[in-house]
C-alpha cells in the first residue's frame, strides 16, 4: 500500500500576505484585535495538541481523529469570529466570497475522498471476520477458507482508490488559495482574512497528512512556510517539522501501510498466513491460537478506529457544508441576488 520514498522538497512557496497591513488607515480596532488574538491563541493550542507525547502515536487512527476534530473546531471558530466581528455578508467583498466558496467546495471534495477511503478500508472488516470465524472453529478443514479470506483482505487493502488520487490537485489549489486577496478600506476584512489564513494553513496541512496516509505516498505531504510575524507561526512550524519527520521515517521503512492500526493487522495476517501455509501441527497449536487471538484484538481496534475517524470526517464535511450554505442563504436574504462571480461556485 505504501510507495517508495519520494525526494523531500517544498510543495509551494508563497509571499507574505500581510506585508501591507501596516499602511495608514489599517490599524486594528482594540475590540476586534482582541477577537483576532483570541482566535489565534485558540488556533495555536489546537495545533500544539497534534504533537503527542509519544511520536509513535502519529498516524494512528486516534491521532488522525484528533486532527480532524481540531479542524472542525477551527472552522466553527471562524464562523463565530465572523459573527463577533459584526461583519454581515452585505459588507463582504466579492473576492472574500470567492475565497470562502472556492475553499469550501474543495474541502467538500477532499472530505468525500477521505470518506471513500475509510469506507473502503472498513469493508475489509467482513473478510477478516469471516476468516476469524473459520480460524476459531478449530476445524482444520475450514482453514483453507480462512486462508483464502485473509488473502482476499490483503488484496483488497492493497488496491488503489481512484478518489484518493484526486487529492493531489485539490491540495495544489488549496496551497494557491493561501495567497490572500488584497483588502482595501476594511479593517474588519483584514482581520477576517488574517483569521481565515490561519484556518486555511491548518486545514491544508492536515488534509495533506491524510492524503499522504491514504495514498501511501509522501508526495502529498506538504511543507508550508508561513510569515514568522504571526503569533501561531512558530507553533505551526514545530508541529509540521515534528509530524513530517515522523511520517517520512514511517514511509522510509517500506511498510505495507503507514496507518498504525492497519499495519498491526497486516502483521497478524502475515503471521497467520505463514502458519496456515506451513501447516498447523500439534507443536504449533498454542502459537496458532495466540496468533488468532492477536488478530482478533488488532482487527477490533482497527474497525473501531476506522468507525470513529469516519464519524469525525463526516462531521467536518457537515461543518463546511453548513458554513457554505449559511453564507449563500444570508446573501440571498440580504440582497435577493447572488453576485455573478459567485453563481458558478454554487453546487
**Torsional class of 60: left (φ above 0), alpha (ψ -120 to 50), beta (otherwise):** beta
Higher pLDDT, 119 or 343: 119
CA distance 221 to 170: 13
The rounded distance, in Å, linking the Cα atoms of 287 and 285 is: 6
Q: For the chain, first and last CA: distance in Å?
A: 33
281-288 average pLDDT score: 68
Q: How far apart are CA 196 and CA 174, in angstroms?
A: 12
pTM for the full predicted model: 0.86
Give residue limits of the domains in the chain.
Answer: 30-343
Q: What is the reported pLDDT for 10?
A: 40
pLDDT digits (tens, 9 = 90+) for 69-116: 999 999 999 988 888 887 766 667 777 777 788 899 999 999 999 999
Choose among 214, 175, 197, 208: nearest CA to 74: 197
All cell numbers assigned to 12: 509551494
How far lies 114's CA from each of 64, 96, 162, 316, in Å? 12, 27, 11, 11
130: Cα separation from own chain's centroid: 31
Q: Is residue 19's pLDDT more than 50? A: no
pLDDT at 94 (0 to 100): 74
**Do residues 82 and 178 touch, judged by C-beta distance below 8 A?**
no
pLDDT at 228 over 70: yes
| Residue 49 near residue 66 (C-beta atoms within 8 A) | yes
**pLDDT of 326 higher than 60:** yes
Answer yes or no: is pLDDT of 347 > 60. Answer: no
What pLDDT, on a 0 to 100 scale, did the predictor assign at position 184?
60
pLDDT tens-digit readout, 131-153: 999 998 877 788 889 999 999 99
- pLDDT band of 11, cuts 50, 70, 90: very low
Distance CA 32, CA 113 (A): 37
Amino acid at each position: 500500500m505504501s510507495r517508495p520514498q519520494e525526494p523531500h522538497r517544498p510543495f509551494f512557496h508563497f509571499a507574505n500576505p500581510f506585508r501591507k497591513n501596516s499602511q495608514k488607515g489599517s490599524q486594528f480596532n482594540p475590540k476586534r484585535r482582541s477577537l483576532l488574538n483570541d482566535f489565534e491563541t485558540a488556533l495555536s493550542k489546537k495545533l500544539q495538541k497534534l504533537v503527542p507525547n509519544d511520536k509513535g502515536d502519529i498516524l494512528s487512527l486516534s491521532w488522525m481523529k484528533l486532527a480532524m476534530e481540531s479542524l472542525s473546531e477551527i472552522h466553527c471558530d471562524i464562523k463565530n469570529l465572523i459573527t463577533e466581528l459584526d461583519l454581515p455578508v452585505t459588507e463582504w467583498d466579492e473576492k472574500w466570497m470567492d475565497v470562502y466558496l472556492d475553499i469550501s467546495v474543495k474541502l467538500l471534495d477532499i472530505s468525500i475522498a477521505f470518506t471513500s477511503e475509510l469506507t473502503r478500508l472498513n469493508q475489509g472488516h467482513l473478510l477478516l471476520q469471516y476468516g476469524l470465524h473459520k480460524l476459531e472453529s478449530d476445524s482444520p478443514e475450514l482453514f483453507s477458507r480462512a486462508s483464502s479470506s485473509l488473502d482476499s483482505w490483503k488484496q483488497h487493502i492493497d488496491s488503489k482508490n481512484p478518489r484518493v488520487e484526486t487529492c493531489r490537485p485539490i491540495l495544489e489549489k488549496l496551497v494557491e488559495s493561501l495567497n490572500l486577496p488584497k483588502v482595501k478600506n476594511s479593517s474588519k476584512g483584514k482581520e477576517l482574512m488574517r483569521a481565515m489564513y490561519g484556518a486555511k494553513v491548518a486545514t491544508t496541512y492536515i488534509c495533506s497528512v491524510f492524503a499522504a496516509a491514504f495514498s501511501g505516498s509522501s508526495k502529498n505531504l506538504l511543507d508550508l512556510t508561513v510569515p514568522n510575524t504571526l503569533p501561531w507561526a512558530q507553533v505551526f512550524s514545530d508541529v509540521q517539522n515534528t509530524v513530517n519527520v515522523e511520517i517520512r521515517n514511517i514511509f522510509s521503512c517500506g511498510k505495507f501501510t503507514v496507518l498504525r492500526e492497519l499495519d498491526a493487522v497486516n502483521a497478524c495476517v502475515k503471521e497467520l498466513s505463514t502458519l496456515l501455509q506451513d501447516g498447523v501441527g500439534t507443536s504449533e497449536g498454542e502459537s496458532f491460537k495466540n496468533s488468532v487471538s492477536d488478530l482478533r484484538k488488532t482487527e477490533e481496534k482497527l474497525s473501531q478506529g476506522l468507525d470513529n475517524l469516519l464519524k469525525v470526517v463526516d462531521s467536518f464535511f457537515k461543518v463546511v457544508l453548513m458554513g457554505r450554505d449559511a453564507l449563500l442563504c444570508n446573501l440571498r436574504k440580504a440582497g435577493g441576488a447572488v453576485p455573478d462571480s459567485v453563481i458558478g461556485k454554487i453546487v
